[in-house]
Amino acid sequence: MRYRFDNHLLDTDRRELRRGDELLAVEPQVFDLLVFLLRNRDRVISKEELIASVWDGRIVSDSTLASRINAVRRTIGDNGQEQRVIRTAARRGFRFVAEVNETETVTNAETPDALSQDKRGGPACHDKPSIAVLPFSNLSGDPDQEYFVDGVVEEIITSIARVNWLFVIARNSSFTYKGKAVDVKQVARELGVRYVLEGSMRKAGNRVRITGQLVDTSTGAHIWADHFDGALDDIFELQDQLASNVVGAIAPKLRQSEIERAARKPTQSVDAYDLFLRALGQLHHMSKNSWSKAICFARRALDIDPFYGPAAALAAYTHVVQITQGWAEPEDERRLAETARLARLALAYGKEDSFAVSAAAFAIAYCGDMPAAETAVSGRFFSIRTIPAPGRYEVGSIAF
């Protein structure tokens, strides 16, 4: 959901707050407090309700609550005297009073940048790797199966939209090509994407086969192709399964393709994301020199965006591996403190990124804070086990 108010744009899906074109740095708790007030702007919110929602019912003093409200006001250019945006109701609570324009975010593609037009009249390409999922062809000869094919594609689009480093075109835009013979380069120009996923479905009896192929529109090369089979016993479960299989297969291919793309760019022109990909690519070489380069790339990415969670996680993770491999000076309190700081920064601003969470938890566990590491990975498919160094731990399933 996106909320526009007082020259600000708050995007709850991306957890971003902008003032005009400026991206504001907001602490997670301050962001959550602002969102809660926005969503309940039709009434006064009591202190007890704020504490129950934002602090999960923990004991919070009046001074702490007041300081967080003031932090919200400072972030959005308000203050306790004017109270243009957030008004205090004496002995009752707080209310968001600024005029708000609320719009629903269908996918992570629908941002102002995504709707801008380039010189050719098509949408502008995006900083993130962008993808359009075209309607799949129904090869079963049964028109009644169109709904099933479209349902699979919608599930794939929804699943890709959850991958926060990808930029996916909304269904309403990609489905304008349904039933048409299209050229992927034309689609790239018209929708402003780097990649196109296209495919087909064939049904035989109670079995169905979904075939897909991923195309790099800049070269026309196929970077992935595969098929998935299933039984039509439970249509909705099969749709979910097929969508998960497709996304699980293409995500690593896209990541590798982006790493290769970043490596071909001149250093002076890359942005924070490209620097992160360069750093990630260096880790695969597993050498002292390459991991030193990874640290440099990650640090430069953080110079551009100090709140870039994945880059902070990579830097923290690399610190630990350099120590354990004997590629760095013996650990000292300052180095461990910096590693822990980077890891906590990663968890604060990269908690939706699986790499950031697992790598940051690895670093925090190594620094000796096992409870924080366990909290970070709770509910995720990661594991933590003890490694030989006293008081040190390892987090498994760190995916590159």
More confident call, 217 vs 381 = 217
- Judged by DSSP in three states, 213 sits in strand
Confidence of residue 111 (pLDDT cuts 50, 70, 90): very low
Residue 164: name the closest of 91, 96, 255 by CA.
255
CATH 3.40.50.10610 for domain 112-263, yes or no, is: yes
CATH class of the 267-395 domain in this structure: mainly alpha
More confident call, 133 vs 368 = 133
Token code pair at residue 43: 């009434």
Q: Any idea of the CA torsion for 365, 367, 369, 375, to the nearest 10 degrees? A: -40
pLDDT, one tens digit per residue, over 211-225 is: 888 888 877 788 888
What confidence score (pLDDT) does residue 73 get?
93
Task: Map tokens 């090369």 to a residue.
Answer: 221
What confidence score (pLDDT) does residue 21 get?
74
Write down the architecture of domain 2-103 according to CATH: Orthogonal Bundle (1.10)
pLDDT at residue 336 above 70? yes
What confidence score (pLDDT) does residue 396 get?
44
306: β partners: none
pLDDT at residue 320 above 60? yes
Determine the Cα–Cα distance for residues 68 and 86; give it in Å rounded to an integer.
12
Determine the Cα–Cα distance for residues 271 and 17; give it in Å rounded to an integer.
20
Residue 75: name the closest of 16, 120, 119, 129 by CA.
16
Task: Map tokens 């359009």 to a residue.
Answer: 132
Domain edges within the chain: 2-103, 112-263, 267-395
Phi/psi zone of residue 7: left (φ > 0), alpha (ψ -120 to 50 degrees), beta? Answer: left
Compute how many other C-beta atoms are within 10 angstroms of the C-beta atom of residue 296.
Answer: 15
Mean pLDDT (the chain, rounded): 77
What confidence score (pLDDT) does residue 289 get?
85
Residues in contact with 211: Cβ distance below 8 Å, sequence separation at least 6, in sequence order: 199, 200, 201, 202, 225, 226, 227
Residue 234: name the closest of 208, 198, 196, 263 by CA.
208
What confidence score (pLDDT) does residue 394 get?
42
Determine the Cα–Cα distance for residues 187 and 132; give it in Å rounded to an integer.
8
